[in-house]
Amino acid sequence: MNAPLLSAAAAAPASGLEWRNGFADLGADFFTELVPTPLPAPHWVATSLDVAHQLGVPAAWLDSDAALQVCSGNALLSGMRPLATVYSGHQFGVWAGQLGDGRAILLGETAGGLEVQLKGAGRTPYSRGGDGRAVLRSSIREFLCSEAMHALGVPTTRALALTGSPAPVQREVVETAAVVTRIAPSFIRFGHFEHFAARDQLPQLRTLADYVIDRYYPQCRNPDAPGGNPYAALLQAVSERTAELLAHWQAQGFCHGVMNTDNMSILGLTIDYGPFQFLDGFVPGHVCNHSDTQGRYAFNRQPNVAYWNLFRLGQALLPLIEDVALAQAALESYQTVFPAEFLQRMRGKLGLQAAHAGDAALVDGLLNLLAHGGVDYPIFWRRLSHAVASGDFEPVRDLFIDRAGWDAWLLSFSEHPGQSNPRHMADSMLKCNPKFVLRNHLGEQAIRAAEQGDFAPLHTLQALLAQPFEEHPGHDAWADFPPDWASSIEISCSS
C-alpha cells in the first residue's frame, strides 16, 4: 500500500516546511526506502504545541486533517523521503546481530535540521517477527515521558504528536494501535556503527562516522582535537555527552529499563522509551523492566552499563581510530565527566551554588540515608526545597525512619560551607526539584482513561509535566505519594 502524497496545495493549512532527508544521501547500504503502512481511522490523542513551534510548524496545521494523516502514516508531504534505517546491537549484554528500524520510519528533516520519525508506522524489512506497530499504552508513555524529560532539562528525543486508531494489535492481550511522531536532530544509535563494524564494512563505517562528525560534532575535525584524530575525538565527544546524560538520569531518579546499545543515541539523547520508570522510593537496585530478570539495567547499574555500551562503540570505531591507546583515552573521559556532572546536578538539588571539598561526602551520606528507608525520592527533594525556605524541616524529617541519621545529616548540611541565603537557595532548589514527575501510576491512570476514550487525564498530566517546577494549585493529588497499587504495576518490553 502506498501512502498518497499530499501536495503542498492539498495540505491546507500548509505545514509551511521544506522537507529533505540528509540521512538518505548516505546510500542504500544504510536504509530501505519505503512508505508507512496506513493506519485505519486515525484520531488525535495528543499534540505538543511546543514541539510544533520548535519545528516551525504553524499550530493551525496541527489542527488540520492533513496533519492527522501525516502523523498517522497515511500521507506524506511533498519533499519527504521516508525510509527505515538498519542497525545492529548488543541486547542485555549479548550480540544480537542485525536489528534496525522495525517499526519506525524516518519521514525527513526540516531545513532547521530536525528529523521527523513515525514510531509504529508498520512493518519494514527490519521488523523480523514483529508487526511494525506500537500500542496506545506504550505510545502514551513515550509521548508523555519524552516531553517530561525535556521540561526537566534532560537531553531527549521529543514528540510532536500521538495518534490512535481502533486497529487491533496483539500483545499479551489485544490492544489498539498508535503512532508517535518523534523529533530529534538525529536518531542514529551506537548500533548503527556496530552494524558496519561487525560486517567489516569499513567504507560504510567511515561514511557514517564522517556524516555524524560533519553534521553534529564538527569540532572533532579541529587539529587540536584529542590525539588529532577525528574518530577518537568523536568517541570522546560521545562519551562526554553520554556521561552528561547519565548524570541527569541518576539525579532525576530515572531508570531507562532497556539500555541496549541499539537504544543509545549518538547525540547523548534519551531515546526509545519502553519500560522506563521514575523512582518512587529511593531503591538504588530497583529494576523497572519486568523482562529484565537478571537486573542488568537496575537503576544503580546504569552508569556502568553506559560505559560498557561506550566500550562497544569504541570497538566499532577502532578500525577508524587505528590506535587502541587513543580509543581508551577517549573512553576514559566518561570516568571523569560522569562523577563531576552527577555531583554538579546534586549540588543544584541541594541549592549549593559553588563546589566545596565536602560536597561528594554530603551527597553520598544523603543517598545512603534515602536508600536506607526507601524514602520517596521526588517528595523528599520538593519538601527539602520548601524546608530550606521556611526553616521548618519537620515535614522532611517525617519521611525518615532513621530520625537520628537524618538529624545528623541535616546538621552537616546546615554547617556546609556551600550554604548561602536560604531564600536564594530555596529558589534555585525549586527550579531543580520538580513537583510533578511522571510516576508509573500517573502514566497508568492516563492510559486507563485513554483506553476508555477519555484523554482528559492525559492532557492534564501533559500540562503539569510541561511545567514540573510550578506549583499548579489544585493539582496536589498529582504530586502525592504513589498509591499501594502502584507497586503492582508491571512494565515489560511489550510495547
- Contact letters (x/-) for ligand AMP, 204-243, by CB under 6 A? ----------------------------------------
Active site residue 262: yes
Q: How many residues bind ligand AMP (CB under 6 A)?
A: 17
Residue entry with cell 551554588: 353
Of 180-188, 227-235, 256-264, 324-332, the window that binds ligand AMP (rule: CB under 6 A) is 256-264
**Least distance (Å) between residue 495 CB and Mg ion:** 9
Decide whether 192 or 345 has the Cβ nearer to ligand AMP.
192
CB 422 within 8 Å of CB 387: no
CB 421 within 8 Å of CB 427: no
Q: Is 257 in the site for ligand AMP (CB under 6 A)?
A: no
Longest dimension (CA), the chain: 71
**Least distance (Å) between residue 22 CB and ligand AMP:** 21
CB 435 within 8 Å of CB 480: no
- Three cell numbers, residue 238: 560521545
Decide whether 236 or 260 has the Cβ nearer to Mg ion.
260
Q: Is 258 in the site for ligand AMP (CB under 6 A)?
A: yes
**Least distance (Å) between residue 319 CB and Mg ion:** 25
**Least distance (Å) between residue 260 CB and ligand AMP:** 6
Of 128-136, 357-365, 403-411, 455-463, the window that binds ligand AMP (rule: CB under 6 A) is 128-136
Of 39-47, 129-137, 233-241, 463-471, the window that binds ligand AMP (rule: CB under 6 A) is 129-137
State the Cα–Cα distance between residues 305 and 463, nearest whole angstrom: 33
Decide whether 226 or 274 has the Cβ nearer to ligand AMP.
274
Q: Work out which of 109, 147, 272, 444 binds ligand AMP, going by CB under 6 A.
A: 272
Decide whether 322 or 490 has the Cβ nearer to ligand AMP.
490
| Three-class HEC string of the chain | CCCCEECCCCCCCCCCCCEECHHHHHCHHHEEECCCCCCCCCEEEEECHHHHHHHCCCHHHHCCHHHHHHCCCCCEECCCCCEEECCEEEECCEEEEECCCCCEEEEEEECCCCEEEEECCCCCCCCCCCCCCEEHHHHHHHHHHHHHHHHHCCCECEEEEEEEEEEEEECCCEEEEEEEEEEECCCCEHHHHHHHHHCCCHHHHHHHHHHHHHHHCHHHHCCCCHHHCHHHHHHHHHHHHHHHHHHHHHHHCEECCCCCHHHCECCCCECCCCCCEECCECCCCCCCCCCCCCCCCCHHHHHHHHHHHHHHHHHHHHHHHCCHHHHHHHHHHHHHHHHHHHHHHHHHHHCCCCCCCCHHHHHHHHHHHHHHHCCEHHHHHHHHHHHHHHCCCHHHHCCCCCHHHHHHHHHHHHCCCCCCCHHHHHHHHCCCCCCCCCCHHHHHHHHHHHHCCCCHHHHHHHHHHHCCCCCCCCCHHHHCCCCHHHHHCCCCCCC
273 binds, among Mg ion, ligand AMP, none (CB under 5 to 8 A by kind): none
Query: What sign does the CA torsion over 316, 320, 324, 330 have?
Result: negative
Residue nearest Mg ion, CB atom distance: 272
Q: Work out which of 8, 367, 371, 493 binds ligand AMP, going by CB under 6 A.
A: 493
Question: Which residues within the stretch 244-263 sit at the binding site for Mg ion (CB under 5 A)?
Answer: 263
> Can you name the residues that pair with 104 across neighbouring β-strands?
119
- Contact letters (x/-) for ligand AMP, 130-169, by CB under 6 A? xxxx------------------------------------
Question: Which residues within the stretch 103-122 sit at the binding site for ligand AMP (CB under 6 A)?
Answer: 103
Q: Is 444 in the site for ligand AMP (CB under 6 A)?
A: no
**Least distance (Å) between residue 186 CB and ligand AMP:** 17
Of 45-53, 124-132, 277-285, 294-302, the window that binds ligand AMP (rule: CB under 6 A) is 124-132
Q: Work out which of 58, 79, 102, 319 binds ligand AMP, going by CB under 6 A.
A: 102
**Least distance (Å) between residue 88 CB and ligand AMP:** 9
> Can you name the residues that pair with 430 across neighbouring β-strands?
none
**Least distance (Å) between residue 271 CB and Mg ion:** 7
Q: How many residues bind Mg ion (CB under 5 A)?
A: 2
CB 82 within 8 Å of CB 66: no
Q: Is 272 in the site for Mg ion (CB under 5 A)?
A: yes
493 binds, among Mg ion, ligand AMP, none (CB under 5 to 8 A by kind): ligand AMP
Decide whether 38 or 132 has the Cβ nearer to ligand AMP.
132
Q: Work out which of 110, 163, 263, 277 binds ligand AMP, going by CB under 6 A.
A: 263
**Least distance (Å) between residue 257 CB and Mg ion:** 11
| Catalytic residue of the set 50, 131, 210, 262 | 262
- Which residues here bind ligand AMP, judged by CB under 6 A? 99-103, 126-127, 130-133, 258, 262-263, 272, 274, 493
**Catalytic residue ranges:** 262
Residues that bind Mg ion (CB under 5 A): 263, 272
